[in-house]
């Protein structure tokens, strides 16, 4: 795509909807692949999107995943209505999880989702209001340019 | 290592054949927690797990993992099989325990996707 093209889209996410979990991230991955973005960035974007999508499904009531590409930057934004996060510092610690047992039985609850997003994103911002919801902004530089 | 050789080594059964013959496996990721798979899984790795849930296939798809091997005779739930078919992820089972399965693959020269 040309450097100044803008491309964006949005997916709806439902808390507790485990049967469709990952569908948004899967769709995003195929869009990014079709755009010819390098496989390494596509993989990192897909993994971080999936972790964030699962957090909405596991921990929140409803939300959206929005993606935008502009000026050689891919931004993935997750916005949810939910309980919010009381301590971001705690939530960012590897191994910290409040996931209930039945979620663990599906393979989640390692307490590694947010740390994984931080590791694989170029820039990661988190904003939360207890009792209202959480917003994540995940940025990837395309073609090695600065945001 | 060719996936067909791995199937022989662990006496595996093919549940979903997403192109078994063509797949070359470069490392192994063994985990029952999906965020560990997403953290450490490498492109081209084989995932060995006892977790028989569809999110395993989603994780494989999104992390470029072409094949999943269920150990200890784990039987995949219906949705897991359906998603593997849709996403063309190879799904295998073995009755061997996870420890033995990984031991055999290690002995045959495959290394963990965590060490580099
Ligand atoms: N969108 C969210 N809304 C409310 N709480 C959240 C949200 N995302 C994360 N949290 C809180 O932060 C904790 C840590 O999140 P993280 O994604 O690292 O781990 P996890 O979801 O519990 O397990 P894993 O991601 O390894 O499956 C969660 O257990 C939860 O308490
Ligand atoms: Mg999580």
Average pLDDT, stretch A82-105?
A: 97
Residue A88 has pLDDT above 90, yes or no: yes
* Helices B54-62 + A23-34 axis angle, to 10: 20
C-alpha A109/C-alpha B27 separation (Å) is 25
| Portion of chain A with pLDDT greater than 70, in percent | 94
Q: How far apart are CA A140 and CA A137, in angstroms?
A: 10
B90 inside domain: yes
* Confidence category of residue A145, pLDDT binned at 50, 70, 90: very low
B46 is a domain residue = yes
Residue A90 has pLDDT above 90, yes or no: yes
pLDDT digits (tens, 9 = 90+) for A26-61: 999 999 999 999 999 999 999 999 999 999 999 999
Taking only the tens place, the pLDDT of each residue in B11-63 is 999 999 988 878 999 999 999 999 999 999 999 999 999 999 999 999 999 99
**Domain assignment of residue B69, yes or no:** yes
Average pLDDT, chain A: 94
Mean pLDDT, range A13-30, rounded to an integer = 97
* A22 at interface of B, judged by CB pairs closer than 8 A: yes
Residue A123 has pLDDT above 60, yes or no: yes
* Residues linked to residue A30 through DSSP beta bridges, in sequence order: none
Size of interface A-B (CB pairs under 8 A): 69
Average of pLDDT values for B111-115?
Answer: 89
pLDDT score for A111: 97
pLDDT of residue B18: 82
Residue B33 CB neighbours (<10 A):
17
Q: Which residues surround ligand 2, an ion (CB under 5 A)?
A: A 55, 113
Residue B73 vs residues A51, B78, B102: alpha-carbon distances, Å: 28, 15, 14
**Whether residue A66 has pLDDT greater than 60:** yes
Domains held by chain B: number: 1
pLDDT at A1 over 70: no
CB B37 within 8 A of CB B47: yes
Angle at the Cα of A128 (from A80 to A75), degrees rounded to 5?
Answer: 65
Q: Which residues of A touch B58 (CB under 8 A)?
A: 21-22, 25-26, 50
The fold of A7-141 is Heat Shock Protein 90 (3.30.565)
Residue A83: exposure state from Cβ atoms within 10 A (0-12, 13-18, ≥19) = middle
CATH number at residue B56: 3.40.1390.20
What residues 54-113 of chain A have any CB closer than 8 A to a CB of chain B?
A: 54, 106-113
The predicted pLDDT at position A146 comes to 39
Residue B25 lies in a domain: yes
Residue B16 resides in a domain: yes
Model confidence at A5, pLDDT cuts 50, 70, 90, reads low
What pLDDT sits at residue A61?
98
Are the CB atoms for A68 and A120 separated by under 8 Å?
no
Domain ranges, residue B29: 3-107
- Read off the pTM: 0.95
Domain ranges (residues) in chain A: 7-141
Interface test with A, best of B30, B31, B34 (most A CBs within 10 A): B34
Q: ipTM of the assembly?
A: 0.93
pLDDT of residue A2: 56
- Contact (Cβ atoms closer than 8 angstroms) between residue A128 and residue A85: yes
């Amino acid at each position: 795509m040309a450097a100044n093209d803008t491309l964006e889209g949005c997916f709806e996410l439902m808390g507790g909807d485990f049967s469709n979990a990952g569908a948004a991230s899967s769709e995003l991955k195929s869009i990014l692949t079709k755009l010819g973005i390098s496989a390494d960035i596509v993989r990192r974007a897909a993994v971080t999107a999936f972790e964030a999508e699962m957090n909405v499904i596991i921990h929140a009531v409803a939300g959206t995943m929005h993606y935008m590409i502009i000026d050689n930057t891919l931004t993935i934004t997750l916005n949810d209505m939910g309980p919010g996060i009381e301590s971001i510092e705690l939530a960012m610690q590897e191994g910290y999880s409040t996931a209930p047992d039945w979620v663990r039985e599906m393979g989640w609850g390692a307490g590694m989702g947010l740390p994984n997003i931080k590791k694989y994103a170029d820039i990661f911002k988190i904003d939360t209001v207890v009792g209202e919801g959480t917003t994540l902004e995940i940025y990837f530089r395309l073609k090695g340019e600065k945001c | 290592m060719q996936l067909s050789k791995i199937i022989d080594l662990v006496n595996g059964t093919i549940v979903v054949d997403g192109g078994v013959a063509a797949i070359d496996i470069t490392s192994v990721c063994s985990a029952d927690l999906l965020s560990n798979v997403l953290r450490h899984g490498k492109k081209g790795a084989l995932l060995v797990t006892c977790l028989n849930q569809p999110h395993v296939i989603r994780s494989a798809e999104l992390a470029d993992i072409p094949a999943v091997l269920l150990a200890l005779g784990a039987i995949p739930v219906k949705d897991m099989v359906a998603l593997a078919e849709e996403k063309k992820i190879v799904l295998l089972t073995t009755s061997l325990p996870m420890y033995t399965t990984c031991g055999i693959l290690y002995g045959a020269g495959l290394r963990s996707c965590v060490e580099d």
